[in-house]
Amino acid sequence: MQILRALDLFVGQLQADGRSPHTIGQYRRHVRALGAWLTATRGSLDLRKLRHQDVAAFFGAPAARTAAGTTRAKRATSVNAMRTSIRCFLRYLHESGEIGSNPAALLKRARCAPPPPRAMRDEEEQKLLAYLAGHEGDAARRDEALVRLMLGAGLRIGAALGLDVEDLDLERAEAHVRRDKGDRSETVLLPHQLVEHLRGFVGARRSGPLFATADGERVSTRHAQRRFAAAVAATGIERRLSPHACRHAFATRLLARTGNLQLVRRAMHHRSISSTAIYAAVRDEDVRRALAE
């Protein structure tokens, strides 16, 4: 069983299981990295000859532990993601009968704390919104509405861009997200100030993409990311921020205001409280304040 043929079978199974294109792409990259290393060091891509010692050697080598084309060490979480990909790949081949044993059976994920969420700070939000509000034109109004929606409701950029005008129920202050992460549908609650802004942004429109190009086509995620990055750079914000920083800011602000992690979990539509717990990290300034009381 050659690794590239096995990868095709694995991808077919992932697609049948409804895994997202992003997840499939990550698995594909990780398996190809293993294949390149096997070619360079073992001279064989036959997975029937793969031993658990080979898998261990791969994860001890620079091919798995450094970023592609550099000598910079990967983050522990990135290596863990690769471990998951290889474990899933080889387990699938074993369970489907393509190989006789699972050479990744002994592979364990490293224990490591997740990195703190890179949330947009209050002053950064103000700078970005002021910049967007200070520009005229449909594209600027669209960009401002998108950022306000992500900041005010905690939506992922893909979910926000997937909304149609008819998905908004502004009388009930709700947005009906038809396809969020994991293809789940969600009803997202909207704060009053955001409802009023969206009401003005939508105007007389009754259907079609909420965030559209001049031609009426839905704005792509990549285009929105480029626009966001350009706006952040234009404000003079020195940190690299992605649109996901808006979602992190929403969660961080909500937790600071309520102190209720379960409430934040519900607002973020996390399946597990462990996904929400990253926002509960104690900050140094909170410790200093408590010690001073």
> Which residue from 206, 290, 75, 54 is spatially nearest to 46, judged by alpha carbons?
54
pLDDT in tens, 254-268: 998 898 989 999 999
- Run of H or E residues at 80: helix 76-95
Alpha-carbon span 185 to 153, nearest angstrom: 15
The pTM of the full predicted model, rounded to 2 decimals, is 0.66
Where the chain has pLDDT below 50, the residues are none
- Run of H or E residues at 260: none
Residue-level pLDDT at 284: 55
pLDDT in tens, 29-79: 999 999 999 999 987 788 988 999 999 999 999 999 998 778 889 888 899
Residue-level pLDDT at 48: 87
